[in-house]
Protein backbone atom coordinates (compact mmCIF):
# COMPACT_ATOMS: atom_id res chain seq x y z
CA UNK A 1 0.00 0.00 0.00
CA UNK A 2 1.04 3.55 -0.66
CA UNK A 3 2.81 4.80 2.49
CA UNK A 4 0.83 8.05 2.54
CA UNK A 5 -2.51 6.22 2.19
CA UNK A 6 -1.46 3.74 4.83
CA UNK A 7 -0.66 6.49 7.32
CA UNK A 8 -3.96 8.23 6.52
CA UNK A 9 -5.93 5.04 7.24
CA UNK A 10 -4.12 4.32 10.49
CA UNK A 11 -5.71 5.64 13.68
CA UNK A 12 -3.92 8.60 15.25
CA UNK A 13 -0.69 7.42 16.85
CA UNK A 14 -0.73 7.16 20.63
CA UNK A 15 2.05 7.40 23.15
CA UNK A 16 1.67 6.10 26.68
CA UNK A 17 3.92 6.47 29.69
CA UNK A 18 3.51 3.64 32.17
CA UNK A 19 4.78 4.39 35.67
CA UNK A 20 4.72 1.10 37.56
CA UNK A 21 7.33 -0.51 39.79
CA UNK A 22 6.11 -4.10 39.53
CA UNK A 23 7.91 -5.63 36.51
CA UNK A 24 5.29 -8.37 35.95
CA UNK A 25 2.42 -5.90 35.75
CA UNK A 26 4.49 -3.54 33.60
CA UNK A 27 5.36 -6.35 31.19
CA UNK A 28 1.73 -7.46 30.88
CA UNK A 29 0.46 -3.91 30.33
CA UNK A 30 3.16 -3.04 27.81
CA UNK A 31 2.23 -6.14 25.83
CA UNK A 32 -1.45 -5.19 25.64
CA UNK A 33 -0.96 -1.44 25.27
CA UNK A 34 1.30 -2.18 22.31
CA UNK A 35 -1.77 -3.37 20.39
CA UNK A 36 -3.38 0.08 20.39
CA UNK A 37 -0.45 2.43 21.00
CA UNK A 38 2.59 3.18 18.89
CA UNK A 39 4.79 3.93 21.82
CA UNK A 40 4.69 2.54 25.34
CA UNK A 41 7.43 3.84 27.63
CA UNK A 42 8.03 2.42 31.09
CA UNK A 43 9.31 4.13 34.21
CA UNK A 44 9.83 1.98 37.30
CA UNK A 45 10.27 4.68 39.96
CA UNK A 46 8.43 7.83 40.95
CA UNK A 47 11.36 10.11 40.13
CA UNK A 48 11.88 8.61 36.68
CA UNK A 49 8.12 8.74 36.08
CA UNK A 50 7.88 12.43 36.91
CA UNK A 51 10.97 13.28 34.89
CA UNK A 52 9.71 11.45 31.81
CA UNK A 53 6.17 12.78 32.23
CA UNK A 54 7.56 16.33 32.14
CA UNK A 55 10.05 15.56 29.38
CA UNK A 56 7.62 15.52 26.43
CA UNK A 57 3.91 15.34 25.62
CA UNK A 58 2.11 12.02 26.13
CA UNK A 59 -1.38 10.92 25.13
CA UNK A 60 -1.83 9.08 28.41
CA UNK A 61 0.01 8.41 31.65
CA UNK A 62 -0.83 5.24 33.55
CA UNK A 63 0.32 5.91 37.07
CA UNK A 64 0.68 3.45 39.90
CA UNK A 65 -0.09 4.93 43.31
CA UNK A 66 2.60 3.20 45.37
CA UNK A 67 5.97 3.84 43.80
CA UNK A 68 9.49 3.97 45.13
CA UNK A 69 10.70 7.58 45.31
CA UNK A 70 7.67 9.78 44.75
CA UNK A 71 4.11 8.69 45.54
CA UNK A 72 1.73 8.54 42.57
CA UNK A 73 -0.54 11.17 44.13
CA UNK A 74 2.37 13.60 44.37
CA UNK A 75 3.33 12.99 40.75
CA UNK A 76 -0.24 13.68 39.68
CA UNK A 77 -0.43 16.81 41.82
CA UNK A 78 2.86 18.14 40.49
CA UNK A 79 1.85 17.57 36.87
CA UNK A 80 -1.43 19.42 37.41
CA UNK A 81 0.46 22.25 39.13
CA UNK A 82 2.54 22.47 35.93
CA UNK A 83 -0.83 22.99 34.14
CA UNK A 84 -0.39 19.71 32.32
CA UNK A 85 -3.72 18.36 31.08
CA UNK A 86 -2.36 14.95 30.10
CA UNK A 87 -4.95 12.25 30.83
CA UNK A 88 -3.93 10.23 33.89
CA UNK A 89 -5.23 6.76 34.67
CA UNK A 90 -4.41 5.84 38.27
CA UNK A 91 -3.71 2.30 39.48
CA UNK A 92 -4.62 1.83 43.13
CA UNK A 93 -4.03 -1.23 45.26
CA UNK A 94 -6.86 -0.97 47.78
CA UNK A 95 -10.28 0.61 47.98
CA UNK A 96 -9.06 2.73 50.92
CA UNK A 97 -6.44 4.18 48.60
CA UNK A 98 -9.14 4.72 46.03
CA UNK A 99 -11.11 6.75 48.58
CA UNK A 100 -8.03 8.89 49.07
CA UNK A 101 -7.68 9.44 45.34
CA UNK A 102 -11.32 10.47 45.08
CA UNK A 103 -11.16 12.57 48.22
CA UNK A 104 -8.22 14.63 47.02
CA UNK A 105 -8.81 17.06 44.25
CA UNK A 106 -5.78 16.07 42.28
CA UNK A 107 -7.40 15.60 38.91
CA UNK A 108 -6.98 12.02 37.79
CA UNK A 109 -9.08 11.14 34.76
CA UNK A 110 -9.83 7.61 35.81
CA UNK A 111 -8.67 4.87 38.11
CA UNK A 112 -8.50 1.09 38.24
CA UNK A 113 -8.23 -0.91 41.46
CA UNK A 114 -5.68 -3.73 41.62
CA UNK A 115 -6.07 -6.56 40.94
CA UNK A 116 -7.68 -5.58 37.65
CA UNK A 117 -8.39 -7.50 34.48
CA UNK A 118 -6.36 -6.43 31.47
CA UNK A 119 -9.60 -6.26 29.45
CA UNK A 120 -11.06 -3.77 31.90
CA UNK A 121 -7.95 -1.64 31.92
CA UNK A 122 -7.78 -1.63 28.11
CA UNK A 123 -11.46 -0.59 27.95
CA UNK A 124 -10.65 2.35 30.23
CA UNK A 125 -7.63 3.31 28.12
CA UNK A 126 -9.64 3.22 24.90
CA UNK A 127 -12.44 5.25 26.51
CA UNK A 128 -9.91 7.95 27.47
CA UNK A 129 -8.52 8.02 23.91
CA UNK A 130 -12.05 8.28 22.46
CA UNK A 131 -12.89 11.18 24.77
CA UNK A 132 -9.70 13.03 23.92
CA UNK A 133 -10.24 12.51 20.19
CA UNK A 134 -13.81 13.80 20.50
CA UNK A 135 -12.53 16.88 22.33
CA UNK A 136 -9.79 17.48 19.79
CA UNK A 137 -12.10 17.09 16.80
CA UNK A 138 -13.20 20.44 15.41
CA UNK A 139 -16.95 20.74 15.88
CA UNK A 140 -18.82 20.85 12.60
CA UNK A 141 -21.78 22.77 11.21
CA UNK A 142 -24.43 23.41 13.83
CA UNK A 143 -22.06 23.03 16.77
CA UNK A 144 -19.96 25.90 18.00
CA UNK A 145 -16.43 25.99 19.37
CA UNK A 146 -17.63 28.47 21.95
CA UNK A 147 -20.24 27.57 24.54
CA UNK A 148 -21.55 30.19 26.95
CA UNK A 149 -23.92 30.15 29.90
CA UNK A 150 -24.10 33.10 32.27
CA UNK A 151 -20.52 33.98 33.22
CA UNK A 152 -19.30 30.57 32.10
CA UNK A 153 -17.43 30.32 28.84
CA UNK A 154 -16.09 27.13 27.22
CA UNK A 155 -13.69 27.26 24.29
CA UNK A 156 -14.03 23.72 23.00
CA UNK A 157 -11.25 23.96 20.41
CA UNK A 158 -8.73 25.36 22.88
CA UNK A 159 -9.99 23.26 25.78
CA UNK A 160 -10.25 26.37 27.95
CA UNK A 161 -12.85 27.44 30.48
CA UNK A 162 -13.35 30.76 32.17
CA UNK A 163 -15.77 32.07 34.77
CA UNK A 164 -16.42 35.81 34.62
CA UNK A 165 -13.25 36.18 32.56
CA UNK A 166 -11.01 34.24 34.97
CA UNK A 167 -9.44 31.06 33.57
CA UNK A 168 -10.35 27.82 35.36
CA UNK A 169 -8.19 24.68 35.15
CA UNK A 170 -10.27 21.53 34.57
CA UNK A 171 -9.20 17.93 34.03
CA UNK A 172 -10.11 16.35 30.68
CA UNK A 173 -13.09 14.61 32.26
CA UNK A 174 -14.30 17.70 34.10
CA UNK A 175 -14.17 19.61 30.85
CA UNK A 176 -15.99 16.83 29.05
CA UNK A 177 -18.81 16.62 31.59
CA UNK A 178 -19.16 20.41 31.74
CA UNK A 179 -19.42 20.54 27.97
CA UNK A 180 -22.04 17.82 28.20
CA UNK A 181 -24.10 19.85 30.67
CA UNK A 182 -23.73 23.19 28.90
CA UNK A 183 -24.74 21.62 25.57
CA UNK A 184 -28.03 20.40 27.07
CA UNK A 185 -29.31 23.12 29.42
CA UNK A 186 -32.31 22.10 31.52
CA UNK A 187 -31.99 18.42 30.73
CA UNK A 188 -31.85 16.10 33.74
CA UNK A 189 -29.08 13.49 33.70
CA UNK A 190 -29.18 10.54 36.08
CA UNK A 191 -25.88 9.47 37.64
CA UNK A 192 -26.02 6.26 35.59
CA UNK A 193 -26.52 8.29 32.40
CA UNK A 194 -23.59 10.53 33.23
CA UNK A 195 -21.39 7.51 33.92
CA UNK A 196 -22.41 6.04 30.61
CA UNK A 197 -22.15 9.22 28.54
CA UNK A 198 -19.18 10.97 30.12
CA UNK A 199 -17.15 7.99 31.35
CA UNK A 200 -18.22 5.90 28.39
CA UNK A 201 -18.25 2.41 29.80
CA UNK A 202 -20.14 0.31 32.32
CA UNK A 203 -19.27 1.57 35.77
CA UNK A 204 -21.83 -0.26 37.93
CA UNK A 205 -21.68 0.63 41.59
CA UNK A 206 -19.55 3.71 41.07
CA UNK A 207 -22.28 6.30 41.17
CA UNK A 208 -20.57 7.97 44.14
CA UNK A 209 -17.81 8.73 41.61
CA UNK A 210 -20.25 11.06 39.86
CA UNK A 211 -21.09 12.85 43.11
CA UNK A 212 -17.40 13.47 43.94
CA UNK A 213 -16.76 14.54 40.39
CA UNK A 214 -19.66 17.02 40.36
CA UNK A 215 -18.54 18.44 43.71
CA UNK A 216 -15.03 19.03 42.37
CA UNK A 217 -16.44 20.65 39.24
CA UNK A 218 -18.73 22.88 41.31
CA UNK A 219 -15.82 23.94 43.50
CA UNK A 220 -14.10 25.19 40.34
CA UNK A 221 -16.94 26.89 38.47
CA UNK A 222 -19.64 27.87 40.95
CA UNK A 223 -19.40 31.31 42.60
CA UNK A 224 -20.75 29.63 45.77
CA UNK A 225 -20.28 25.83 45.55
CA UNK A 226 -22.56 25.31 48.56
CA UNK A 227 -25.40 26.98 46.64
CA UNK A 228 -24.77 25.98 43.03
CA UNK A 229 -26.34 28.04 40.27
CA UNK A 230 -25.00 26.17 37.23
CA UNK A 231 -25.04 22.45 38.02
CA UNK A 232 -28.18 21.82 40.04
CA UNK A 233 -29.01 18.69 42.01
CA UNK A 234 -32.27 16.99 41.11
CA UNK A 235 -32.98 15.09 44.30
CA UNK A 236 -33.32 11.34 43.88
CA UNK A 237 -32.50 11.59 40.16
CA UNK A 238 -29.23 13.29 39.31
CA UNK A 239 -28.18 16.66 37.97
CA UNK A 240 -29.22 19.26 35.45
CA UNK A 241 -27.60 22.39 34.10
CA UNK A 242 -29.53 25.60 34.81
CA UNK A 243 -31.61 26.50 31.75
User: Which spans of this chain sit near Ca ion (rule: CB under 5 A)?
Assistant: 21, 64, 66
Would strands 110-113 and 88-92 be described as parallel, antiparallel, or unpaired? parallel
In the sheet with 146-149, reading across from the earlier edge strand, the strands are 146-149, 152-155, 160-163, 166-168
Instruction: Using CB positions, name the residue nearest to Ca ion.
Output: 66
> How near is the Cβ of 20 to Ca ion at its closest, in Å?
6
Tell me whether residue 21 or residue 207 sits nearer to Ca ion (CB atom).
21
> How near is the Cβ of 91 to Ca ion at its closest, in Å?
8
Tell me whether residue 64 or residue 109 sits nearer to Ca ion (CB atom).
64
Distance in angstroms (rounded) separating the CA atoms of residues 214 and 4: 44
Would strands 238-241 and 152-155 be described as parallel, antiparallel, or unpaired? unpaired
Tell me whether residue 45 or residue 193 sits nearer to Ca ion (CB atom).
45
Does a cis peptide bond (omega within 30 degrees of 0) precede residue 115? yes
Within 10 angstroms of residue 41's Cβ, the number of other Cβ atoms is: 19
> How near is the Cβ of 33 to Ca ion at its closest, in Å?
17
> How near is the Cβ of 173 to Ca ion at its closest, in Å?
24
Would strands 15-19 and 231-234 be described as parallel, antiparallel, or unpaired? unpaired
Tell me whether residue 32 or residue 114 sits nearer to Ca ion (CB atom).
114
Amino acid sequence: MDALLESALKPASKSVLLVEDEPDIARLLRLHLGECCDEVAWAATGHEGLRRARGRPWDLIILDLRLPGIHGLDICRQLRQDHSYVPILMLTAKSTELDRVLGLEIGTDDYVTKPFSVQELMARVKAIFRRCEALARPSSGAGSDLLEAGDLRLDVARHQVSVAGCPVVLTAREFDSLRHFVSCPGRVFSRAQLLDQVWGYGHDGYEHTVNSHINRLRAKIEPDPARPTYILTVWGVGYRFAA
